[in-house]
Structure 1
Amino acid sequence: MTLSTYSLGEIQQRINEVRRFLSVTLNIANAHTVEFYTHDVWERFIALPPAEVLSAVAAGGDQQREPASRATGELGTTFGFCPDTKRLVDVCELLRAAQDHTLPGLGVFLKRDELLQELRGMGMKLRSAVAQTGSALEPDEFMNSKKSHEVQSMSEVVACLAQHCRVKQVIDVGSGKGYLSSFLSLQHGLQVYGVDSSSTNTHGAQERNRKLRKFSRAYQQHMRGNGKVEEEEIKPVTVEEEVLNDDRVGNESVEVTAYNPSAEKQSKTDSEVEELFLTSLSVDAMEIPNPRVPPTQLSPEEKEKRKRENLERKARNRSDGSKALFSPLTSFITAETELREIITELEDAVMVGLHTCGDLASNTLRMFVAKPELVAVCSVGCCYHLLSEEFLPEKQAEDLLSSCGFPLSQSLRDQSWFCGRNARMSACLALERVSVGQGIQMESLFYRAVLHVILRDHYSSFKSEKRVGNVYSKTKSFVDYVRRALRRLELDEAKLSDNDIQRYHDTYRERMDEMHAFNMLKVSLAPCIEGLILLDRLCFLKEQENVSFSALVQLFDPLLSPRCYAVVGLKSYDGRPTTQ
């Protein structure tokens, strides 16, 4: 790679900058909303009226930015906090410092187009499976806009990585419903192994991919001048029709589900949507069947002949070793997983993960470093609150037997750094969405915090580990909310009258702005915490001798997909295929 990226030393410097900032501000992110009133959080951490904080946050995007953050402000503050009281006294200074300690503020990531330009500049012109047709897949016809944006953006990067490394296999870790896997196989002709711990997900992905191939053939028949696709070809089919029209590729085994008349309307709608999506599907990525007469128009003799031909074709596929382009597999992946035990035909491959939860994102990078058959990685993590942390103060000794998700880098491990669960939860907040008015659901948070006051005042078990759950969405008022919550917690609700409960609401309603302002500060700190987690992963790759290139790459529009950064890595590569 000739693209200029930060060195290990420079990344370590940026990590230290963010770590120093968070060492002062992390208490805000770690304050639990449930305990906001019982622990008097506002008075403990903030020495300003909530209106001033909300005004500064609202104007934050329009304020004149200073060229660089200062560790110490004009009033002797540190990032807006008083060194003596540890309380926030200058919210504008805090907001400026927070912006400077995000990934954009630090300038330590590449744009997606920059990475693609560099990969293509290596003499590897992207040749997708639809290159010869001059058409492209339109996944927004069968995915929501968020997933469509993610799949299209990431698949192009993965395809470029595969071509750069001259490999044809991709391992999609935490593949879920198989959207990315299907797109990579159908659009780019890659052999994709989608690995997910849920058998429900893998079976659903297999069925969905089979339908996509089936409807793509129907469309290709239309494109080749065989007339409009017959409606019967996109209707749900009976078991008999399934066998007669079985155009599955390769030797994959898929259970056949009998036609359910009660689901006809929804199935037909789903089929039509999928057909729209496949309006430009590749003719190179799969077999194209000969024009077919709908099964309803076949004579008994023709039905029997077609059934025999399908069975013979399956037997040929099994004997010649042909295989599907997308193979969903069920397996729980850890850093110690031996890939060759679950993928017997594994060659050199690119490992990918689209919004892999918690420790799976970290283990993806560990596997990439440890397994010689993995030549590149593109990992987008999510669910930071599910990360395990090695150096949490309350961590028990037995928990150290397995690898933790954070920190990964030796740089942060040497400092025994930890964030805390509430801070990692805060890292999941979406600053960009909040900034455009897609704010936090404040009333539900307020209800929960006031409930905690009631539990403290009237029930000795208020510290119980039992969870209230999603009670708010079902309630009509605060009194109704409390009643439902007490029943959920199996507590005696007769202790309180409706008037008693309503008085709590009215008393704390006057302080609701405190909670609103405090949560907006947490949102402002969210990208800083996420940035540290991602910098730790990048630093981990840069510490490895066998990784020749590594970078953070912004793949997605943060408004559509807040977890928009990928960790991309390439093994040392001499321009030759590593597997013959």
Structure 2
Amino acid sequence: MRSSSSSLAEIQQRIDEVKQFLSVTLSIANAHTVEFYTHDVWRRFTAVPPDEVLSAVSSGGDRQGAPRHKGKGQAGTLFGFCRHTNRLTDTHELLQMARAHSLPGLGVCLSRDELLQAFRDNVSESGTPPAGTGAELEPDEFMNSKKAHEVQSMSEVVACLAQCCHVKQVIDVGSGKGYLSSFLSLQYGLKVYGIDSSSINTHGAHERNRKLKKFSRAYQKHSKAVKAQEEVTYSPLEDVENRKTGTNEGVDVLYGDEAGIVSREATKVLICSTDVNPAMEQQSEPTPETEDLFLSALAADEIQTTPLRIPPSQLSAEEKERRKRENMERKALTRSQSASAVFSPLTSYVTAETELRELINELEDAVMVGLHTCGDLAPSSLRMFVAKPELAAVCSVGCCYHLLSEEFDPAEQECSHSVCGFPLSQHLREQSWFCGRNARMSACLALERVTLGQGIQMESLFYRAVLHVILRDHFSSYKSEKRVGNVYSKAKSFVDYVRRALRRLELDESKLSDSDIQDYHDTYRPRMAEMHAFNMLKVALAPCIEGLILLDRLCYLKEQEEVRFSALVQLFDPLLSPRCYAVIGLKTN
């Protein structure tokens, strides 16, 4: 398989470009919203009115009729910031430069279609057919739309990785509820070991997988039934006559002896089709208790009438022998698929030093995957991929950047005695670069969703910032590191919010009357636009911070001699799944 279009030197250059941009702008991302009013954040970092920022954000950062900036900006500014005061003076320039320093702007990512085409070319050259069990499952039958989109998009890539590497095992780190693991096992016939640190998750994944296997068997029966339908003629009128006389031929057994038994109630669901007269539909309408799971989801035009069963006594000897042979072959295939397609949930806390052979007795060469692995687990899985010879490929989609540990952040002392999650690459480690926790929190913001008016609850942030002013003015002994928790969702008003918060913090709420509390709200309410505008600046910077974290991981893989292919790939629609980028690597054969 060809190497990615970006070399190590090119990735290092892109990292340096993003790092230069963030060295000027990162102070905005690291400003804490809780301290917005107590530290007068707006005036410290900006020299423009909030309405100008909100207007620029709504227009996408483009000026009408103005030339696009190339990084130098106006005289005396750098990325929109004044060189002398370090305050924002040109919002349009900042937003344009933020776009240019995000992953799409840098042009370093492959699309999912480009990656799959490269896989297909590789498989075509090797002559190996794509994997699959032959039963097409629809993941939205048993998971929500977001998870279904993620699982379906990622599983095809993982299956192609397995084909390229000629392996049949997959190790899913941070497997959670096991949706991806189960789908890879059932859809693609892979042996999947799902490892999660939570025993509750692994127990639930095991039970969920058991149910999905039943779902898969039912789905395969339905697929076979549809094929059989095309070969058998059926008369609805004859079936109506059978109903009148109490004859159940053609109802008790759905598609003949060899196709397996389906309940009478499930058969009734299939009989209800647009080809059957209304009187028949009324007689055969199913109840909620008897509807089969997958049949109830089928569209009306996909539901077909049942073929008439031919009694065994009317079959010729040759036909009986043919059916017997096909039945034995089908059972052998089912046993083979059951043996090869296995999902085994395991409970273990995984680090880069974890010995996989101690967890998995039958470990073979495998693909390591992780779908939205939190914090340090994503970089740990990349370190493990590099260190373990049995891992032939990796596909890692990380999340929860605020949980990453940073080696060179002076605020994180505990990382000095352990392996940290950022930076991974030698290139950034040599520069002792760090982002800071608040900046990593900002990296979790979803630009595409916020642009459509989703994602940020401004009022809750405003309440928390004004509460901090009250704590500063009336509770000087209060330590700001204490957490208020989810008080806003239960509060009926700002006064109720403050009183609930004071009780949560075990502070004397009798110091303040309701009118005193309300006065704080009324004083700062006119400045709420400042907070809104500032948070939109954070959202604009979020893709740049995330991009640096992911480029660091890609650079780490490109620094390894044994990794023959590595790339950043956009797997998901960012509106459905904001953490949409996968780090993919394959080792030398």
Deviation at 1:75, TM superposition (A): 2.8
Aligned to 1:127: 130
Q: TM-score, normalised by structure 2?
A: 0.80
**SS of 1:469's equivalent?**
coil
1:402-423 residue CA offsets vs partner (Å, 9 max, x unmatched)? 1100000011100100000000
Deviation of 1:463 after TM superposition, in Å, equals: 2.5
Whole-Å Cα distance in 1 between the matches of residues 129 and 499 of structure 2? 60
Map 1:334-413 → 2, pairs under 5 A: 334-396=351-413, 399-413=415-429
1:258-278 deviation per Cα after TM superposition (whole angstroms, max 9, x unaligned): xxxxxxxxx979x95567689
Partner of 2:164: 164
Report the 3-state secondary structure (helix = DSSP H, G, I; strand = E; otherwise coil) of the residue aligned with 2:77: coil
- Map 1:84-483; keep pairs closer than 5 Å: 84-124=84-124, 127-131=130-134, 136-225=136-225, 226-227=253-254, 229-230=262-263, 273=293, 325-396=342-413, 399-483=415-499
- State which of 502, 505, 514 in structure 2 corresponds to 1:498: 514
Residues 268 and 109 of structure 1, relative CA distance in 2, 3 Å threshold: farther
Cα distance in 2 for residues equivalent to 1:174 and 1:439: 25
Q: C-alpha distance in 2, partners of 1:196/1:275?
A: 33
Aligned to 2:551: 535
The residue type paired with residue 151 of structure 2 is V
Residue type matched to 2:525 in 1?
R
Q: Does residue 564 in structure 1 map to residue 580 in structure 2?
A: yes
SS at match of 2:431: coil
Indicate the SS of the match to 2:371: strand
Segment drifting more, 474-483 vs 460-469: 460-469
- Determine the C-alpha separation between the residues in 2 that align with 1:163 and 1:67: 48
> Which residue type is aligned with residue 131 of structure 2?
S
Q: Structure 2 counterpart of 1:120, which letter?
A: R
3-state DSSP class of the match of 2:200? Answer: helix
Q: CA deviation at 1:395?
A: 3.1
CA distance in 1, matches of 2:297, 2:346: 25
d(CA) in 2 for partners of 1:518, 1:482: 23
Query: Aligned with 2:123: secondary structure?
Result: coil
The alpha carbon displacement at 1:70 in A equals 2.7
For residues 114 and 26 of structure 1, the distance between their equivalents in structure 2, rounded to whole angstroms, comes to 33
Q: Secondary structure at the match of 1:121?
A: helix
CA distance in structure 1 between the partners assigned to 2:7 and 2:66 by the alignment: 26
Deviation at residue 2 of structure 1 after TM alignment: 2.5
CA distance in 1, matches of 2:480, 2:207: 43
For residues 385 and 391 of structure 2, the distance between their equivalents in structure 1, rounded to whole angstroms, comes to 6
* Structure 2: distance between partners of 1:220 and 1:97: 52
Conservation of the 8 A alpha-carbon contact between 1:138 and 1:278: no
Please give the secondary structure, in 2, of the residue aligned with 1:73.
coil
Which of 509, 512, 528 is matched with 1:512 structurally? 528
Hey, what's the Cα distance between the residues in 2 that align with 1:268 and 1:423?
A: 51
SS in 2 for 1:511: helix
Partner amino acid, structure 2, of 1:567: V
- Structure 1 window deviating more from structure 2 (221-230 vs 328-337): it is 221-230
How has the CA–CA distance of structure 1 residues 276 and 51 changed in structure 2, closer, same or farther, with 3 Å as cutoff?
Answer: same
Partner SS for 1:350 = strand
Q: 1:439 Cα deviation (Å)?
A: 4.5
Displacement of 1:141 after TM fit?
A: 1.4
Letter of the 1:334 partner, please give it.
Answer: T
Counterpart code for 1:127: P
Unaligned runs of 5+ in 2: 226-252, 255-260, 268-287, 300-330
Match of 1:38 in 2: 38
Q: What residue in structure 2 maps to residue 13 of structure 1?
A: 13
Distance (Å, rounded) in 2 between the aligned partners of 1:218 and 1:553: 35
Over 3 Å counting, the alpha-carbon distance change for 1:159 and 1:455 in structure 2 is same
- Confirm or deny: 8 A CA contact 1:139 1:277 kept in the other structure: no
Query: Normalization by structure 1: what TM-score?
Result: 0.82
- Provide the C-alpha distance between the structure 1 equivalents of 2:587 and 2:63, rounded to a whole number of angstroms: 43
Cα RMSD (Å) of the superposition? 2.4
Deviations 1:48-84 (CA, angstroms, capped at 9, x unpaired):
1101111011101665799975332123200000111
- Structure 1 counterpart SS, 2:407: coil
Give the counterpart letter for 1:96 in structure 2: Q
Distance change in 2, residues 1:489/1:126 (3 Å)? farther
Render the CA deviation track for 1:9-46: whole Å, top value 9, x for unaligned. Answer: 10000000000000000000000000000000001000
Q: How far apart, CA to CA, are the structure 1 residues paired with 2:386 and 2:185?
A: 25
Counterpart CA distance in 1 for 2:193 and 2:264 is 33
Cα distance in 1 for partners of 2:564, 2:551 equals 17
Task: Indicate if the aligned counterparts of 1:150 and 1:561 stay in contact, CA closer than 8 A.
Answer: yes
For 1:65 and 1:375, the matched residues in 2 are separated by 52
Structure 1 residue runs without a partner (length 5+): 235-266, 280-312, 574-580
Displacement of 1:130 after TM fit? 3.6
- Supply the distance in 1 between the matched residues of 2:198 and 2:95 (Cα, whole angstroms): 42
SS at match of 2:5: coil
Equivalent-residue separation in structure 1 for 2:65 and 2:368 (angstroms): 39
Secondary structure at the residue paired with 1:362?
helix
Distance 1:55 1:152, change over 3 A: same
Distance 1:233 1:333 in 2: 44
Matched residue, 2:314: none
**Distance in structure 1 (CA, Å) of the matches to 2:402 and 2:65:** 31
Q: Deviations over 1:269-320 (max 9, x none)?
A: 9x955676899xxxxxxxxxxxxxxxxxxxxxxxxxxxxxxxxx9xxx9xxx
Match among 549, 563, 571 for residue 565 of structure 2? 549
CA distance in 2, matches of 1:464, 1:568: 41
SS in 1 for 2:151: helix
Q: 1:274 to 1:424 in 2, by over 3 A?
A: farther
With over 3 angstroms needed to count, the CA separation of the structure-2 counterparts of 1:498 and 1:159, relative to structure 1, is: same
Report if aligned partners of 1:335, 1:366 keep a CA contact under 8 Å in 2.
Answer: yes
Distance 1:278 1:322, change over 3 A: farther
Distance 1:272 1:511, change over 3 A: farther
2-side partners of 1:67 and 1:159: how far apart?
A: 46
Residue 137 of structure 1 contacts residue 278 of structure 1 at CA under 8 Å; is this kept in 2? no
Look up the equivalent residue of 2:202 and give its one-letter code: T
SS in 1 for 2:13: helix
The equivalent residue for 1:298 is none
Q: 1:407, 1:556 → 2: CA distance? A: 25
Q: CA deviation at 1:168?
A: 0.3
Contact 1:352 1:377 in 2 (8 A): yes
In structure 2, relative to structure 1, the CA distance for the partners of 1:65 and 1:123 (3 Å cut) is farther
- SS of alignment partner, residue 153 of structure 1: helix
The 1:268/1:519 distance shift into structure 2, 3 A limit, reads: farther
Question: Does the residue aligned with 1:453 lie in a helix, a strand or coil?
Answer: helix
Paired residue for 2:240? none
CA distance in 2 between counterparts of 1:517 and 1:382 reads 25
